[in-house]
Structure 1
Amino acid sequence: MPADVLVVGAGHNGLTCAAYLARAGHSVTVLEARAAPGGCASTVDAIGARVNICNCDHTMVLASGIVEELDLAGHGLRYLDVDPVEVAIGWGDQPAFVQYRSIEQTIAGLERVSAGVAAAYRRYVDATLPLARLVVAAAAAPPSFGGLARLAALDSGPAVVARLLSWRRRSLFDVLGSFGLPPWIQAAFATTGPGVWGVSPAAPGTGMAAVGPVVRHLAGVGRPAGGSGALPDALAAVVTAHGGTIRTASPVAGLVVDAGRRPAVRGVRLADGGQLTADAVVCAVDPRTVLVDWLPQEVRRPRDARRPAPDGYESKVDAVIAAPPVWRAMPSAGHVATTVVSPAPGRLTAGVTDRVTDPPMFLVNIPSVLDPAMRPPGGGHLLSLEVLWTPYALPGGWRDSPEPRRWLERLAELAEPGFLDGVGAWRAMTPEDYERDFGLRRGYAPSFAGGPLSALLARDRPLTRYATPVRGLYLTGAGTFPGAGVWGASGRNAAHAVATWLGSR
């Protein structure tokens, strides 16, 4: 019997969408190309341990309400609090920066470095908190400009909207510098903001990245017990508990569309030649794949063919280590939080090139310190090392590249002697590997490129309203509003849009 809805892609956004629709009583089937659901939020077996495909820190999903609304705790999800929420060090002699969930505790730590820096941080937080609340609230439902106006009226009124308009045009460095924040804090926030997006923090339009660090004060940071994959596992459990079906090893090759005056989707074509029909299809994959590769040529829009197809720029090393590194810059760090390692701001202005940035940008965490379930069975700890701005098209290729080993050696330069001697089994995931194993074209993880204002003005309707020009065809995932990271808001918003359409026919 045909399903009401087919959801293509079992990453956390696709599963979130499916969970809301199944809970509302719709017949839902999720199709996943890989052998298991979870996508880039998965935790998998490798190097004799359980490793996270991407970073294990979750923030936005904690602020979204999805965990409570879907009763994910009742389906096995348990979060471990991460506090401090972040530690940042550099490659020189700059001070370490420790950000706590508590604003006052963070400022107290900065007071021990400089009263001026502490005062600058307070000015920054005071100005940014209203924007952070607005951004989190605005992602709680499909965006609309009227919704923005109502939300702004609940906080600081027109001043908040004016700040949003200003920051979206400015660069991150410009915004942070206007409060007097020192370069070593600017560098840390640049790494976890535009650095993760693959763009220069000196570029106009990156100013809204200043909101992200303050959201950590609002929502905190958590890690699912047992690894990041516990979140998609709980979402999958909700889907099946409400009668939904998840089919793995079922790659989709295209869409079945009635082309006419009002094109309408009828289902999907599977890679094995089979077809499945449904009233609605929700694609939780790269929007370009859907709108350019999967739609019949006669119903494609010319503007969709011009959608960028950028290269990936992030790699990750997982390693079994004898003991966590002891940082020279901060020997007392306990490795509960992710450690952000940043070059000086001037090194970040070029953006991604065809070379690995040197000194590199690292996101380092030892998930087994906080979560004993992540400890390798043979003893020791687990190192997760994300390396930003590592180009897909590396000169000479990745296959025999010495780069991944060099990253471990560079990391050892930041630690007390002996760390490198304790590195056991390890593996590297480069952009080529993400393309092969996760279907990410040229290793690029899609990310919604517009800011909140672009979404609220619907400047790209399929990415901000989730409905495409083809009736019954919807988009969700990191390529749609509100964007990348472990959030789930896109999945929930898309489910709302689909349910509204199904109910109106």
Structure 2
Amino acid sequence: MADDLSTLRARYDAVVVGGGHNGLTAAAYLARAGRSVLVLERLDHVGGAAVSERPFPGVDARLSRYSYLVSLLPRQIVDELALPITLRRRRYSSYTPVGDGGLLVDTGSAAATRASFGSLGAAADHDAWSRFYAMTGEVARRLAPTLTQPLLPAAEVRSAVGERAWRALFEEPVGTVVRDTFADDTVQGVVLTDALIGTFAAVDEPSLRQNRCFLYHVIGNGTGDWDVPVGGMGAVSGALRDAAVAAGAAVVTRATVTAVDPATGEVEFTDGDGVSRRVGAGHVLAGCAPSTLARLLGGAPPSPWDEPEGAQLKINLLLTRLPRLRSDVDPVAAFSGTFHVNESLTQLETAYAQAAAGAVPDLPPCEIYCHSLTDPSILGPSLQEAGAHTITLFGLHQPARLFRADNEGSRTAAVKATLASLNSVLAEPIEDCLAVDADGRPCLDARTPVDLEASVGLPGGHIFHRDLSWPFAESPDEVGRWGVETAHPRVLLCGAGARRGGGVSAIPGRAAAMAVLETPSPL
């Protein structure tokens, strides 16, 4: 990978717009098949949102700054591209503090999990929990293998998952299903957070976009497990970059694509020196968001109401130690899984209503986990020896609209409210555990949707590029296709905005490559 353009060809079989993990995946598959491939990336590095960075000056901690866990990346893709990555399973699924106690879901001990439900007075919900996740597990087992195949018709998917699961996950709002299944407000909220991560929606919204978000959170690799990438998320995108380059793909950074001609496949871009250049392409694969592609194709920009809108506050922290809890639960167990903060159903609904009305929620719901408990390699030896840990916080219901007028001021207010929310469930303020960088500043890095839009090119800061779609054909003409096609035969989506996109999955990148390889390269 280099910015040296002296070897740039006049024409490629495929030009990939954007060097995120999906673009790199498409490039690797196509280059391995003997196609000439050029990847053009606007930033000075590839990986998009799937990167590791050192955000704190003078501190030897390499954090997964944006995306941080892996569930949807199929083992098939890892094997086909021979990716040297390791994903570690987390023993504890989640911990939710409630008063001086809490709910600990221990995947290694059904008895401990049952006892924890009982301690909340929610013993009856444990059996309902087991039945509910047995159902989602069966859906995952049946649906996950289809994600790397051409699109199936909805009727075939319905038959495969069964009528009960189809009604619960694909037809009724997930909020209704959860209320009918569980009695306890905290348990209801823990289940429903998977429907709201990165999606600004009410749990009962008729559009069912919250259902689609929930589905993608529970079907990954047939288990729904969310695993820790050893070495950080940069190890995943780095392996994909290496696979693409080793196969012969050319990767150019600091290359800003400015236009795509859908008729000829010609791609215009500005290089790192500000020089305008053009290359021809048999196919153009867009790893950028669909709304960005629309602009590159010369279409009218979408109205503000049609723009994607992210809805999350991302905070990375480096701690000198884990904070104390109010309960007697081991902090290692509590923080190594997903630590739910003020995410009961009632709290989620209140926060959504406040955000929809234009205000940062009074008590922002959020969830955190500690990467370094599962994978200490992201910390330097001295930090490991001192007992330091990283914390990743994902705040829900904080849409881009809250930050448009004054991102700096609104970010400060949102961080303050979110840390206060976290502190409300701890035995000590999180600030007492914060490390400081070489300049004496707290090791805290916060990113709003507006920040994500500016730094990694996500329109509206939407981590899925746009609302997620069902992972099957919704019209007869989609059956047997790959979910990446556009109105222009030469132009394909290969990013998170494709059907079956979202998350660090590489599924759209592979799908776009398969669609290209099924057809001869246009002249």
TM-score (norm 2): 0.83
Corresponding residue for 2:83? 72
Q: Say if 1:415 and 1:94 are closer, same or farther in 2 by CA, change over 3 A.
A: closer
Q: Secondary structure in 2 aligned to 1:274?
A: strand
Contact 1:448–1:483 (CA<8 Å) still a contact in 2?
no
Q: Give the letter aligned to residue 319 of structure 1.
A: L
Q: Give the letter aligned to residue 174 of structure 1.
A: T
Contact 1:90–1:344 (CA<8 Å) still a contact in 2?
no
Shift of 1:434: 1.2
Distance in 1 (CA, whole Å) between partners of 2:217 and 2:286 is: 30
Distance in 1 (CA, whole Å) between partners of 2:331 and 2:427 is: 13
Give 5+ residue unaligned stretches, structure 1.
259-263
The equivalences for 1:21-420 within 5 A come to 21-47=30-56, 48=59, 49-61=61-73, 63-73=74-84, 77-84=85-92, 86-90=93-97, 95-98=102-105, 100=107, 110=117, 114-145=122-153, 149=156, 155=160, 159-160=162-163, 163-164=165-166, 167-180=169-182, 182-204=184-206, 205=208, 206-208=210-212, 211=215, 214-215=218-219, 218-258=223-263, 264-270=264-270, 272-291=275-294, 293-297=295-299, 308-329=306-327, 331-334=329-332, 335-349=335-349, 350=352, 352-353=355-356, 354-375=358-379, 379=383, 380-394=388-402, 397-400=406-409, 401-417=412-428, 419-420=430-431
Q: Secondary structure in 2 aligned to 1:246?
A: strand
Contact 1:131–1:211 (CA<8 Å) still a contact in 2?
no
Q: Secondary structure in 2 aligned to 1:60?
A: coil
Contact 1:90–1:343 (CA<8 Å) still a contact in 2?
no
Q: Say if 1:195 and 1:94 are closer, same or farther in 2 by CA, change over 3 A.
A: farther
Q: Say if 1:465 and 1:343 are closer, same or farther in 2 by CA, change over 3 A.
A: closer
Residues 370-379 or 117-126, more deviating: 370-379
Deviations 1:205-225 (A, max 9, x none): 234555456547815332121
Distance in 2 (CA, whole Å) between partners of 1:369 and 1:453 is: 33
Distance in 1 (CA, whole Å) between partners of 2:421 and 2:374 is: 24
Q: Secondary structure in 1 aligned to 2:336?
A: coil
Shift of 1:358: 2.9
Contact 2:13–2:283 (CA<8 Å) still a contact in 1?
yes
Contact 2:486–2:492 (CA<8 Å) still a contact in 1?
yes
Q: Secondary structure in 2 aligned to 1:466?
A: coil
Contact 2:419–2:430 (CA<8 Å) still a contact in 1?
no
Q: Secondary structure in 1 aligned to 2:228?
A: strand
Shift of 1:8: 0.9
Shift of 1:251: 1.3
Contact 2:46–2:237 (CA<8 Å) still a contact in 1?
yes
Distance in 2 (CA, whole Å) between partners of 1:126 and 1:132 is: 10
Q: Give the letter aligned to residue 72 of structure 2.
A: M
Contact 1:140–1:489 (CA<8 Å) still a contact in 2?
yes
Corresponding residue for 1:261? none
Shift of 1:284: 0.6
Shift of 1:486: 1.4
Q: Secondary structure in 1 aligned to 2:134?
A: helix
Distance in 1 (CA, whole Å) between partners of 2:279 and 2:327 is: 57
Distance in 2 (CA, whole Å) between partners of 1:97 and 1:458 is: 45
Deviations 1:389-429 (A, max 9, x none): 22323376231333324433432332222642221322211
Q: Give the letter aligned to residue 204 of structure 2.
A: A
Shift of 1:230: 0.7
Distance in 1 (CA, whole Å) between partners of 2:233 and 2:515 is: 27
Distance in 1 (CA, whole Å) between partners of 2:338 and 2:180 is: 27
Q: Say if 1:268 and 1:141 are closer, same or farther in 2 by CA, change over 3 A.
A: farther
Q: Give the letter aligned to residue 479 of structure 1.
A: G
Distance in 1 (CA, whole Å) between partners of 2:468 and 2:398 is: 23
Q: Say if 1:490 and 1:275 are closer, same or farther in 2 by CA, change over 3 A.
A: same
Distance in 1 (CA, whole Å) between partners of 2:228 and 2:241 is: 18
Shift of 1:186: 1.9
Contact 2:310–2:399 (CA<8 Å) still a contact in 1?
yes
2:18 maps to which of 9, 14, 39: 9
Distance in 2 (CA, whole Å) between partners of 1:190 and 1:371 is: 27
Distance in 1 (CA, whole Å) between partners of 2:348 and 2:427 is: 26
Distance in 2 (CA, whole Å) between partners of 1:212 and 1:329 is: 32
TM-score (norm 1): 0.85
Contact 1:32–1:247 (CA<8 Å) still a contact in 2?
yes
Contact 1:88–1:188 (CA<8 Å) still a contact in 2?
no
Q: Say if 1:245 and 1:343 are closer, same or farther in 2 by CA, change over 3 A.
A: same
Residues 478-487 or 211-220, more deviating: 211-220
Q: Say if 1:94 and 1:478 are closer, same or farther in 2 by CA, change over 3 A.
A: farther
Contact 1:9–1:283 (CA<8 Å) still a contact in 2?
yes
Residues 178-187 or 227-236, more deviating: 178-187
Shift of 1:281: 0.5
Q: Say if 1:17 and 1:241 are closer, same or farther in 2 by CA, change over 3 A.
A: same
Shift of 1:250: 0.8
Q: Say if 1:130 and 1:368 are closer, same or farther in 2 by CA, change over 3 A.
A: closer
Q: Give the letter aligned to residue 273 of structure 1.
A: S
Corresponding residue for 1:443? 461
The equivalences for 1:457-476 within 5 A come to 457=475, 465-476=483-494
Deviations 1:271-323 (A, max 9, x none): 642111111110011101112x11135xx8x9x88992033321222222110
Q: Secondary structure in 2 aligned to 1:486?
A: coil
Contact 1:144–1:456 (CA<8 Å) still a contact in 2?
no
State the identity %.
24
Q: CA RMSD in A?
A: 3.2
Distance in 2 (CA, whole Å) between partners of 1:44 and 1:487 is: 20
Q: Say if 1:362 and 1:53 are closer, same or farther in 2 by CA, change over 3 A.
A: same
Residues 203-212 or 185-194, more deviating: 203-212
Shift of 1:92: 5.0
Distance in 1 (CA, whole Å) between partners of 2:252 and 2:110 is: 45
Q: Say if 1:29 and 1:219 are closer, same or farther in 2 by CA, change over 3 A.
A: same
Q: Say if 1:166 and 1:314 are closer, same or farther in 2 by CA, change over 3 A.
A: closer
Q: Secondary structure in 2 aligned to 1:324?
A: coil
Residues 134-143 or 487-496, more deviating: 134-143
Shift of 1:458: 6.4
Distance in 1 (CA, whole Å) between partners of 2:447 and 2:304 is: 29
Distance in 1 (CA, whole Å) between partners of 2:373 and 2:251 is: 33
Distance in 1 (CA, whole Å) between partners of 2:424 and 2:468 is: 38
